[in-house]
Amino acid sequence: MTKIRVILATAALAMTTGTLIAHADVEDPDVKARMDTMGGIGANMKTLSQMSKGQIAFDAAAAQAAIDEMAEAAETIPDVFETPAKDPESEASDEIWENWEDFVSKAEALQEAASGATVTDEASLGAAMGSIGGTCGSCHRAYQL
């Protein structure tokens, strides 16, 4: 293994382990399910971000697959967040269940942005990240502690 490969492998392992450790403390299955859904969406967004920065090679099919997974995951957001379960590790605001329809509309905005995005080249990757990323921020600002 070259030095850079060792560094990348270590970083990937640290990231995976970090997620597992954070979620290992979460006992409530509803909280764990929604964190896992968001974690998956986050991992796909990270792939797009790394591609756009040239940290990994541009690959239109891989980018599209990540976007398609985000669209599918977004559809499940209302289901995995429906129960107002609590956990000390959770960053979900109580406002979610006080403004449920607005929360669902923000999940739909992500679903629509992701299902409407097509990546063929680096310019369309940038455009997709812009439209998808805006919907993450809009929900997190309102509902993530």
Task: Burial-class residue 93 by CB neighbours within 10 Å (0-12, 13-18, 19+).
Answer: middle
Residue selected from 79, 91, 102, 121 as contacting ligand HEC according to rule CB under 6 A: 91
Residue 59 or 75 having the CB closest to ligand HEC = 75
* Token couple for 47: 């792939």
Q: Does 106 bind ligand HEC (CB under 6 A)?
A: yes
Please enumerate in sequence order all residues whose Cβ is within 8 A of that of 141, keeping only pairs 6 or more positions apart, or say none.
none
Q: How far is the CB of 6 from ligand HEC (least distance, A)?
A: 26
On whether the CB atoms of residues 132 and 110 are closer than 8 A, the answer is yes
Sign of CA dihedral 93, 98, 101, 102: negative
| First-last CA distance in the chain | 41
Of the ranges 2-10, 61-69, 118-126, 134-142, which one interacts with ligand HEC (CB under 6 A)?
134-142
Of the ranges 8-16, 55-63, 116-124, 131-139, which one interacts with ligand HEC (CB under 6 A)?
131-139
On whether the CB atoms of residues 143 and 77 are closer than 8 A, the answer is no
Residue 92 or 119 having the CB closest to ligand HEC = 92
Q: Does 32 bind ligand HEC (CB under 6 A)?
A: no
Per CB under 6 A, residues contacting ligand HEC are 31, 34-35, 38-39, 41-42, 45, 70, 77, 90-92, 103, 106-107, 110, 132, 135-136, 139-140, 143-144
